[in-house]
C-alpha cells in the first residue's frame, strides 16, 4: 500500500506527481490519500477516475485527522480553518497500462 499525505496532486504539484500517479495506477497499487479540503479531494478523484482507477473509498472525513486547527484561507475564504488529514480516499489502479498518458 502507498500513502500520499497532502500530495498537492490537484493543486501546485500537478505535473511533478504525474509519473508517480501513472506508476501507482499501472501497477494496481492500493493507495491511501489525504487532503486538507473536500474540494482538493474531489479534484484528485476526478483525475483518477479519468485514468480508470477503482475507488475503494470515496472522499470522506478522515476519523484519524488532526484535531489541531490551522488558520488558512486556501480556498479564498478569510479566516477559514483546516485540519491536517481531514479528508481521505483510497484507490487501486487498473494494472492494465491504462494509466500511460
Q: Is 79 left (phi over 0), alpha (psi -120 to 50) or beta?
A: left
- The pLDDT, as a whole number, for residue 1 is 94
- The pLDDT, as a whole number, for residue 97 is 63
> Which residue in the block uniquely carries the three cell numbers 496532486?
9
pLDDT tens sequence across 44-100: 999 899 888 999 999 999 999 999 988 876 666 677 788 889 999 999 988 876 544
- The pLDDT, as a whole number, for residue 59 is 97
The larger pLDDT score, comparing residue 56 to residue 17, is at 56
pTM (2 d.p.): 0.85
Q: Which DSSP helix (H) or strand (E) runs through 24?
A: helix 14-26
- The pLDDT, as a whole number, for residue 76 is 66
- The pLDDT, as a whole number, for residue 69 is 87
Amino acid at each position: 500500500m502507498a500513502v500520499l499525505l497532502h500530495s498537492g496532486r490537484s493543486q501546485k504539484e500537478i505535473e511533478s506527481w504525474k509519473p508517480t500517479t501513472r506508476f501507482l495506477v499501472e501497477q494496481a497499487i492500493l493507495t491511501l490519500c489525504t487532503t486538507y479540503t473536500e474540494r482538493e479531494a474531489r479534484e484528485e478523484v476526478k483525475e483518477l477516475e479519468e485514468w480508470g482507477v477503482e475507488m475503494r473509498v470515496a472522499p470522506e472525513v478522515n476519523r484519524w485527522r488532526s484535531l489541531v486547527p490551522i488558520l488558512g484561507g486556501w480556498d479564498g475564504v478569510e479566516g477559514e480553518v483546516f485540519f491536517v488529514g481531514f479528508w481521505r480516499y483510497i484507490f487501486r489502479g487498473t494494472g492494465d497500462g491504462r494509466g500511460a498518458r
